[in-house]
Amino acid sequence: MMPTVSTLQQAMDALVDRGYAVWPGFLDAEAVAGLLAEARARREAGAFHRAGVGRANGLAVRDQVRGDEVLWLDEAAEVAAERPYWQALQALRREINQTLYLGLVEGEFHYAHYPVGTFYRRHLDRFRDDDARTVSCVLYLNQDWQDAEGGQLRLYLDATEESKFLDVSPQAGTLALFLSDRFWHEVLPASRERWSVTGWMRRRV
């Protein structure tokens, strides 16, 4: 059984105890459907671009590493469909700051679309030249996802032991939350397109 949480307090306890939390129902079905429709419309309008690997000068598109397409969110744009997401995230950040004293001041968030068969190889969400990313949070937008469709987030629970991992199903409304500098993870290929909003809460450095 996957250990899951259902309240903000439980999520904080899990984050303190284990460094990660899986929260089904973080966002309700209507809000998730709104985000998915928004993401689809913007992708159809050509606003998504292939995600790169690395940063700035080192940025490159590498199919063997990751195959997703992304669109960065702009909180200031006040898109109606994104409002419930921002509200839930703000409450989460406030609580994390009060509980873990991480001093999270800002964030960066993008929609992600994984076409059928694409993946994101095992990695850590920290760049060599930027250690501000502190908490990774991925919200999934896929209705009725079946395990057999693949596409799990594989979270490695021990950096030195590859056999110890937790597979998170990218189910609509589920939020996966983990400390960015501690957990290696990967996205497994899926037989169905896979949608999400991925974010990083950042601390001041």
Ligand X SMILES: O=C(O)CCC(=O)C(=O)O
Q: Which residues bind Fe ion (CB under 5 A)?
A: 125
Q: With left for phi above 0 and alpha for psi between -120 and 50, is residue 29 left, alpha or beta?
A: alpha
Which residue is at the shortest CB distance from ligand X? 153
Is the Cβ of residue 181 or residue 193 nearer to Fe ion in the bound state? 181
The radius of gyration of the chain from alpha carbons, rounded to an integer in Å, stands at 16
Least Å from the CB of residue 187 to ligand X: 5
In Å, what is the CA distance from 116 to each residue of 78, 172, 191? 31, 17, 5
Backbone angles phi, psi at 81, to 5 degrees: -65, -20
Of residues 34 and 197, the one with the C-beta less far from Fe ion: 197
Q: Do the Cβ atoms of 197 and 73 come closer than 8 Å?
A: yes
Of the two residues 24 and 99, which places its CB atom closer to ligand X in the complex?
A: 24
Q: How far is the CB of 113 from Fe ion (least distance, A)?
A: 15
Q: Is 156 in the site for ligand X (CB under 6 A)?
A: no
Smallest distance, Fe ion to C-beta of residue 112, A: 10
For ligand X, the binding residue among 93, 113, 185, 202 (CB under 6 A) is: 185
- Out of 196, 197, 201, 202, point to the residue binding ligand X (CB under 6 A): 196
Closest by CA to 130, choosing from 59, 66, 55, 61, is 55
Confirm or reject binding of residue 195 to ligand X (CB under 6 A): no
Contact 69, 78 (CB under 8 A): no
Partners of 168 in the β-ladder: 153
Long-range contacts of 58-65 (CB under 8 A, 24+ apart): 64/121, 65/120, 65/121, 65/123
Which residue, 86 or 184, has its beta carbon nearer to Fe ion? Answer: 184
Least gap, CB of 125 to Fe ion (angstroms): 4
Segment (H or E) for 121: strand 120-123
Q: Is 169 in the site for ligand X (CB under 6 A)?
A: no
Q: How far is the CB of 71 from ligand X (least distance, A)?
A: 13
CB of 197 to ligand X, least distance (A): 9
* Binders in 62-121 for ligand X, by CB under 6 A: 112, 120
Binding site for ligand X (CB under 6 A): 112, 120, 125, 138, 153, 185, 187, 196, 198
